[in-house]
Amino acid sequence: MAALLFTLSTSLSAQVLSSKESPEDSLGNPNTQTMEKGAESDLPGEISGFLPKFQWNPSFPLEDYELGPGDTFNVHFWGAKNFSTTVYVSPSYELFLPGIGAISVRGLKLKNLKARIIKDLRRRLGNTNVAISLNRPREFKIGIRGAVGNPGEKSANQMMRLSDFLVKAGGLTANADLLNIQIHNILRKTDSHINYQKFSLQGDESGNPFLIDGDSIFVSFKKNEAVIKGAVQIPGRFQFSGESVSLQEIVERELGGLSANSRTEGQISITRLTEKGPRTHSVSQKDFFDPKNSENYFEFKLKDGDQIYFPAPIVNNPSQGDVVFVTGNVQVPGPQRFKSGTSIGTYISGAGGVTGRANFDGVVVYKSSGLKVWIKENPAIDPGDTIYVPEVTFKFWQDHLAILTTFLAVVTTTIAISR
């Protein structure tokens, strides 16, 4: 709780004590609730009734909290006067403090309230110190429309980020546009365009802002999407604006670049949607990274629906001692204790099972001796072996079904609008 308190004196105090209020401090204002010493409470001890009644988001800069009607605060006076009370901001943006009177908080942040109270405190109560903490933040309604599971109005507060609110709204649908989530604030007359993909791919909080009173959110439907898998730092689906975009730019700017130990040999698979359906062809990695080649990494332009697969790195054998290492396309890669007679399938199950894109028929065992053995040879597992589960290049029935679903959703929306 110390992180929530602002000491309105020369130092920060984390104490929230409660002592009997002096008669002259009881001003009978309806927006103050004084906690007398010995009063009954749900919590033991003198701080009963003065603990924050909300889940604090540690990433929120509490000093920047903007005050408004409905906010409640715990206030503790000590020194010449000793008492504690709970106050709230009235609909007219006033905060009433016993012994000081009404303070207008319109446009104030919590850090500004400190200086404001100190000024009045020293003038009216003399040698008295004050600590104030947020007891309960006010809630407000935010409307959300578009590509979410449960559109409509939802409750929010200033400590809620966009990602938290999207969960309340049922999450983003598969055809949501991550590049341009629009936030309009009717009170401030501002419009923001949020690149949520920055947050979802890279954890960049600029793509996941805190929400404020007056916001409304619209999530449009995505336009262009591609899939890049294999030896990239952040494999998966991603969206882009415009009809085409540089593959090199996307891999290096959005996906963290190619894996450091990616293969220098092997075939890169490129799938593109055509009028006759998806067409796949391969190009050697050597040719693809040759700028002189007509189709190369540096000039290749991605289009909607493209799927690119870079050959995954060859797995070095990390297992040592009496463990077996399971890696590749499993849910929880890592070492497992060796047990004599245990099958490959049991070790894979111990790693949480395979992912949806695992190629179980291509499982390889790298023996501690350096020998490579395929699963079809039914090898016995020994201490120090590594089990590697590769990835299928693409699951066409999944990937293209997702693309088709998105297309049908857009067509349905267009028909509905045109009626």
Residue 407 domain-assigned? no
> pLDDT tens digits, residue range 358-381?
888 889 888 876 788 888 888 888
What percentage of residues in the chain have a pLDDT greater than 90?
A: 29
CATH value at residue 145: 3.10.560.10
DSSP 94: E
Number of compact structural domains in the chain: 4
Same-domain check for residues 87 and 202: no
Same-domain check for residues 117 and 14: yes
Domain end call among 310, 331, 359: 310
Same-domain check for residues 266 and 366: no
Residue 212 domain-assigned? yes
Identify which of 100, 127, 128 has the alpha carbon closest to the alpha carbon of residue 116: 100
Identify which of 175, 158, 219, 225 has the alpha carbon closest to the alpha carbon of residue 194: 219
> pLDDT tens digits, residue range 378-411?
888 888 888 888 887 654 445 555 555 555 554 4
Answering whether pTM is above 0.85, one says: no
d(CA 5, CA 19): 18
For 75, the 3-state DSSP assignment is strand
CB-CB contact of 110 with 134 (8 Å)? yes
Find how far residue 143's CA is from the centre of its chain: 20
Same-domain check for residues 20 and 55: yes
- Domain containing 376 equals 323-389
Same-domain check for residues 68 and 118: yes
Same-domain check for residues 11 and 132: yes
Same-domain check for residues 232 and 199: no
> pLDDT tens digits, residue range 100-153?
788 899 989 988 887 788 777 777 767 778 888 888 999 999 999 999 999 999
Residue 85 domain-assigned? yes
Same-domain check for residues 33 and 56: yes
Helix (H) or strand (E) holding 86: strand 83-88
Residue 207 domain-assigned? yes
Same-domain check for residues 286 and 381: no
